Structure 1
Amino acid sequence: MSSPASARYGDVHRPLDRSARVFVAGSRGLVGSAMCRHLEREGFTDVVGPGSAQLDLRERRAVLAWFAATRPDVVVLAAARVGGIRANATRPAEFLSDNLRIQVNVLDAALEHGVERLLFLGSSCIYPKFAEQPIREEALLTGALEPTNDAYAIAKIAGLLQVQAVRRQHGLPWISAMPTNLYGPGDNFHPEHSHVLPSLIRRFHEARTSGARRVVNWGTGTPRREFLHVDDLARACLHLLEHYDADGPVNVGTGTDMTIREAAELVAEVVGYQGTIEWDADQPDGTPRKLLDVSRITALGWSPRIALREGIAEAHAWYVEHQASGAREGTSSP
């Protein structure tokens, strides 16, 4: 008999076969690498994820040929060109074009080869800039987007709608998840293209090691953000693949948020920086608040496990160990 949660949000799907071939698109990125780690911990024996040097997901013929040769049973589409406010605002054409091509190629190839189970990962930036908080999944397409990342958001919305279209036209149980702001091991710490938490980790670490007396951050520090450790997202993805089958997207987050100023102070404390923190109000803040309503996924039996302080300490340790390669751009890139 279906549980109340499954009756409301879709029939509970059967557990995935641990011997199934699972293709994690974007396996070298923040999300994809966490997904691979989690699948292997859960006993999956055939997880595949070629890097961009082996398979450029923007190249349609290459993607179709790879699917024909490899024939995955399950697909997790975590590949994307990603970046922070500056990267999104200064290179919107690249963010729109690259992400549309990645998504269309992978989704079309998966459909052509009859992939039954697929999870598309979007982003909380798909929701309107001034959506009612916390943001419910039904807020999608009800208002204007944040202009600093509208190109990326439009691409992700297109991917979500393509998944829904496949469900309607072909009856395949494909699903979409919308994670909040992510961080963790394997993140992108590039000085210009990273998201807020890795950017803060790098900035305060460099200030501490150089003896800088002050750190200047973008904006006013007043916007509120929600942060989810990428390993918690990986758990959520598998949970959804095994327990969710419905048309609408599912928010994945913690259900709590803080100001950017509070986040900066916490990062500085964890990293050990003791200087002055200042704010450049001439730089953009982005969306005033972005807190997800996570009642849909919590009703399905999932909840986050990693506390923010613990997660920041882990991400900082990873950054220290991998500084030489940690400044790359686009952690989930094709």
Structure 2
Amino acid sequence: MLKITMSRLPLLSDPMIAVLIAATGIALLFPATGETKEAASSISNAGIFLLFLINGMRIRRAEIVRGLSNWRYFGPLIIFVFPGMAMLGLGFAHLGGGALPPMVALGFVYLGCLPSTVQSATSYTSLAAGNVGLAVVGAALINIVGVFVSAPLFALLAGEAAGAIGNEAIVRIGLILVLPFVVGQIVQGRVIDRIAAHRSQIAWLDRAVIGIAVYVAFSGAVEQGLGAMLATRDWLILVAMVLGMLVIALAAAWTSAKLLGLVRADRIAFLFAGSQKSVAIGAPLAAILFPAESAGFVIAPLLIYHLAQLVLAAPMAARMVKGRDQALG
């Protein structure tokens, strides 16, 4: 008999949900403005630098090599996660162009260009009795690729809207994301055991950095009149569009995995790695890529998508295990 404990349900156990809700709520009530906003942005950038330095230290090079050797799985997965999902996001951006503020609609393109999650994609693959080893390596590889690919891909698809961001954003990405990650990879051999020993503390560092990035982004949106620009009708349209994009992504990932001829366990890993999107990369990258007055609008689809993917993933994983058990029985 299938047993799913309450502690395994995302809304009851994932601290990231509480962090995102708290950061958004504080920004709505007490947005950072003026000198406070500049200080918060500096703290956010410093935290992002530290976060990506540690990411470089803890993602083992052997996992990267192992991932690169399995192109029958990882090649199609990278194509699906980046150009595939980016084009889906572009379609939804055009769909919402007349109904949503331009920067919110642009957020669908940004959402599509992001890598998949690491922790939840792996967790739900395990919960659904999928190939966990493949999920772990795939999530690590996708996130490494995302550090280098997400911003250029977004700039390519966003066109004139991306041009308004400013060319200096590419320099900031290099200095705050790529440089610390590369340094972390270089020194990894000396520190990886100590990093592994402090896994729980590092997990809270991740959440804190993401929370600060979300707070800074939404503070800028509140300062620009987020409440006035998005009425109740707009929020309903936004949520409906995000749910539509997620459902299409899930169906497309599962169908693609079937067409590739993957066994069921590998299809499950492909499903979660392909359809889920990472707020852990998306929020810090937005803090670097977009001006403070725009970032909150752009990441609105991402935050809703992140919550929705967690809500849907748990019952999906449960049904997959139940279906497998019934087939075996």
Please give the TM-score of this superposition, normalised by the length of structure 1.
0.28
Structure (1/2) with the larger helix percentage: 2
Higher relative contact order (CA 8 A, sep 6+): 2
Greater percentage in strand: 1
